[in-house]
Amino acid sequence: MVAKETLPAEPLVSVIVPARNEEASLADCLQSLVSQTGVLFEIIVVDDHSTDRTREIASSFPGVQVIEAGPLPAGWTGKNNAVTAGAQAARGAWLLFTDADTVHLPGSLVGALREAQDNGAELLSYSPEQIAGTFWEMATIPVVFAELARQYSPSKVSDPASTLAAANGQYILIGHDAYDAVGGHAAIASDILEDVALARAVKSSGRRIRFRYGANAVRTRMYRNYRQLRDGWTKNLALLFPKPGWLAMKTMALWALPWIVLFLRLVGVLNDPAWQAITGLSLFLVLVRITRANFPWNITLLGALFGMPMFAYLLLRSKRAHANGSVSWKGRTYKLKGPVNDFPHHAITAGRLS
């Protein structure tokens, strides 16, 4: 596929979309991709053994190449298998790995390519604007992303002098040569956080990566119901934070403090007016902490009221699942290499903002 108004001498970008039962979101994703202008591109949808209308929807877009993921090799995750198949079929000098639940703003593809080139980055990753629909999405996701922003500063990730590496698998633009040089997804076949592992491999090879919040380029709705949200973060949270148990306790303490003080004032235990100021200050600090997630004020408030206990629960649930040695996602169960305690080694140097 060749976009309209193509600039001369621009390299071909291969857009690779792994899709497993994505009939709810794939059409919007592909429509936003085929509408891109200003750059040469091809679109490859990798059908990862879908049982719904995913393949039918992908095939309805003229010019979109639809391929099969192929059998899942032992020890591989489904996504790593699918994107590897896509990369093998890709002809582009650049590869864009993007999820089927993303929507790409007009001009974002050529903009991302230019941003990578202008910054000398061989891997560019955006953390998309997060769309939340249900109550638990709106309450929980702002808290998760606020904590991720604290743990993994995009400025440090983008700093060649820092060892911190991170990427968001919903949007990774990488030079084909760099991808091949680090072994691609085949070299990280068993990694559940494949985006983090790929960013770590690229940065440790001496290549530059660039990461930022990309609301001006792409948006996504990660989960569409409570069960998807629960299972998705159970799979990831214990790998994202160095001390999930400690963070869960700290989160609950921060959330509970103003309510405990307020209750004790109401029952007359704390009569000093200074406690009123302490209550207000603690609530303010909770709100400020969550504003890092870049959500509207009403959703930020919902996160402060209800999302922090949910985040703490998910941290502990994730830690327990990893300690038990397996996690489930999209109908597959993955056996883990070993138990995750409060010091997972790769979470010290990498994080997934997704």
Residue 140 resides in a domain: no
Q: Is 298 exposed, middle or buried, given 0-12, 13-18 or 19+ CB atoms closer than 10 A? A: exposed
Q: Which two tokens stand for residue 252?
A: 């609950």
Q: Are 37 and 17 in contact (CB under 8 A)?
A: no
What confidence score (pLDDT) does residue 271 get? 74
Same domain, 159 and 68: yes
Rounded-to-integer distance, Cα 143 and Cα 254, Å: 12
Residue 2 resides in a domain: no
Q: Say whether pLDDT at 323 is over 80.
A: yes
Q: Say whether pLDDT at 266 is over 80.
A: no
Rounded-to-integer distance, Cα 249 and Cα 208, Å: 36
Same domain, 173 and 292: no
Residue 144 resides in a domain: no
Domain count, the chain: 2
Same domain, 157 and 51: yes
Query: 174 φ, ψ to 5°?
Result: -140, 140
Same domain, 122 and 249: no
Residue 56 resides in a domain: yes
Q: Say whether pLDDT at 268 is over 60.
A: yes
Same domain, 317 and 181: no
Residue 141 resides in a domain: no
Q: Say whether pLDDT at 342 is over 70.
A: no
Same domain, 74 and 221: yes
Q: Say whether pLDDT at 349 is over 70.
A: no
Residue 173 resides in a domain: yes
Q: Say whether pLDDT at 350 is over 60.
A: no
Rounded-to-integer distance, Cα 325 and Cα 90, Å: 35
Q: Are 99 and 17 in contact (CB under 8 A)?
A: yes
At residue 251, what is the residue type?
T
What confidence score (pLDDT) does residue 8 get? 45
Q: Say whether pLDDT at 327 is over 60.
A: yes
Q: What's the whole-number mean pLDDT along residues 272-284?
A: 78
For tokens 């590897």, name the residue.
Answer: 84
Same domain, 301 and 205: no
Q: Say whether pLDDT at 253 is over 70.
A: yes
Q: Residue 343 — pLDDT band, cuts 50, 70, 90?
A: very low
What confidence score (pLDDT) does residue 1 get? 57
Residue at which a domain ends, from 193, 225, 257: 225
Query: 75 φ, ψ to 5°?
Result: 90, -5
The SS3 assignment for 255 reads: helix
Q: Say whether pLDDT at 344 is over 60.
A: no
User: What range defines the domain where residue 292 resides?
Assistant: 228-351
Q: Are 25 and 101 in contact (CB under 8 A)?
A: yes
Residue 22 resides in a domain: yes
Q: Is the pTM of this model over 0.85?
A: yes
Q: Residue 9 — pLDDT band, cuts 50, 70, 90?
A: low
Percent of the chain with pLDDT over 70: 92
What confidence score (pLDDT) does residue 264 get? 81
CATH number at residue 198: 3.90.550.10
Who wins on pLDDT, 184 or 8? Answer: 184
272-281, 334-343, 345-354: range with lowest mean pLDDT? 345-354
Same domain, 184 and 159: yes
Residues making up the chain, counted from first to last: 354
Rounded-to-integer distance, Cα 311 and Cα 317, Å: 10
Q: What's the whole-number mean pLDDT along residues 192-204?
A: 95
Q: Say whether pLDDT at 136 is over 60.
A: yes
What confidence score (pLDDT) does residue 335 get? 84
Same domain, 208 and 237: no
Residue 27 resides in a domain: yes
Residue at which a domain ends, from 225, 242, 277: 225
Same domain, 57 and 190: yes
Residue at which a domain ends, from 178, 209, 225: 225
Same domain, 52 and 187: yes
Same domain, 157 and 304: no
Q: Which two tokens stand for residue 284?
A: 């303010």
